[in-house]
Amino acid sequence: MATDVKVPALGESITEGTLAQWLKKPGEAVAADEPIASLETDKVSVEVPSPVAGTMAEQLFQEGDTVEVGAVIARIGEAGAAAAAAAPAETKEAVDAATNPPGPAETPLPREDAHAPAADHADLTLSPAVRRAVLEHHVDPSKISGTGKDGRLTKDDVLAAAKAKDSGPVHEPEVKAPAAAPAATAQPALAAAAAPSGERREERVKMTRLRQTIATRLKEAQNTAALLTTYNDVDMTAVIDARARYKDLFEKKHGIRLGFMGFFVKAVALAARDVPSVNARIEGDEIVYHDYLDVSVAVSAPKGLVVPVIRSADAMSFAEIEKTIAGFGKKAKDGTLTADDMKGGTFTISNGGVFGSLLSSPIINPPQSAVLGMHRIEERPVVRDGQIVARPMMYLALSYDHRLIDGREAVTFLVRVKEAIEDPTRLLIDL
């Protein structure tokens, strides 16, 4: 008897997702709890495990379909049993081929997107399992020929490439047209090699659900909030000296490196006590204030920017903050962040400096009312005690909803952050 595989709960307020990739084909053996499909939601990628051991019997949806929570997407048969049915698309193609065989004189026309091999697009749809294998074995997915549907990579493809890499260089198989094939029926893929070098091309790639959500939320913020940004700069000398002095002891005791983000999270917590509106939100015709600080930290993931939340950051130590951030960074790279990791948040910190940004105006993350933008540290000439000296400076940007936060409050908040960073002792004695 076949066992249904249903779409699991995807998190609070998430009712549907997109079937990004099938990880198992009909007829393949499946172990209990082994992922058989990858779903993409508004926030994260989720793997769907098999509830039992057996054989993939039937796939009820195609890749790219939208599936609701609780929907049956596949059936698992008894171990060793043959697949009950092929994927819907494959079945339809087989029926069409049987009822309408092509004429012997027909020559298929190349598709517009046939200039690029399928392997070029595989990295756009890597499942979490495949992504983890790529990162673990340090292989380039663009150089691996995928054996999955539409040329997509599977975990076995990555493992085989890693094994070949250890034993010697990996050589892509040479593609040649059949000797008897006339020039008019050459494979479309070969047209790319023969195309003029100056030819201009376009490629259309459907936006992922995550990218669509990011676009919608950012535009919503611009349409709804009265956005304004105020800037300041901060001398990072004291923080850099503190890190240099204590980084070895800190790592030895806590098992994690001491970074800059811990200082800024603590500084924001201190400043938010003086300016609580920065940590508030508008709800209808009311202002909701929080007596806690849940900091959303912008983290770069393979499919876009995500913002996991450090909960009750105002009550955490430097070590707890750094451990939490490091954990989020690893999960983002592995594609294992959950919806709960990104739920909520009362204030956001975005560090564009890690990518080299000198100055930017960040956009708030609704329903939050403010976001602090950090940037790269750069030595610049400044005046100290009447002397021009070089100091490691960083520009700070606070974007905020002017409907809730006045300019005076925004400037005061940013000055409090600046004072705490330039004199970290303030973080210890609560000044």
Catalytic residues: 402, 406
Torsions phi, psi for 179 (to 5 deg): -60, -35
Q: How far is Cα 236 from Cα 259, in angstroms, rounded to an integer? A: 12
Check if the beta carbon of residue 422 is closer than 8 Å to that of residue 234.
yes
How far the first Cα of the chain sits from its last, in Å, is 68
Which residue's structure tokens are 């995550």? 210
Q: How far is Cα 42 from Cα 38, in angstroms, rounded to an integer? A: 14
Q: How far is Cα 185 from Cα 200, in angstroms, rounded to an integer? A: 24
Q: How many CA atoms lie within 13 A of 380 on its CB side?
A: 12
Q: Which residues pair with 141 in a beta bridge?
A: none
HEC profile of the chain: CCEEEECCCCCCCCCEEEEEEECCCCCCEECCCCEEEEEECCCCEEEEECCCCEEEEEECCCCCCEEECCCEEEEEECCCCCCCCCCHHHHHHHHHHHHCCCCCCCCCCCCCCCCCCHHHHHHHHCCHHHHHHHHHHCCCHHHCCCCCHHHCCCHHHHHHHHHHHHHCCCCCCCCCCCCCCCHHHCCHHHHHHHCCCCCCCCCCCCCCHHHHHHHHHHHHHHHHCCEEEEEEEEECHHHHHHHHHHHHHHHHHHCCCCCCHHHHHHHHHHHHHHCHHHHCEEECCEEECCCCCCEEECEEECCEEECCEECCHHHCCHHHHHHHHHHHHHHHHHCCCCCHHHCCCCEEEEEHHHHCCCCCCCCCCCCCCEEEEECCCEEEEEEECCEEEEEEEEEEEEEEECCCCCHHHHHHHHHHHHHHHHCCHHHHHCC
Q: How many other C-beta atoms lie within 10 A of the C-beta of residue 115?
A: 17
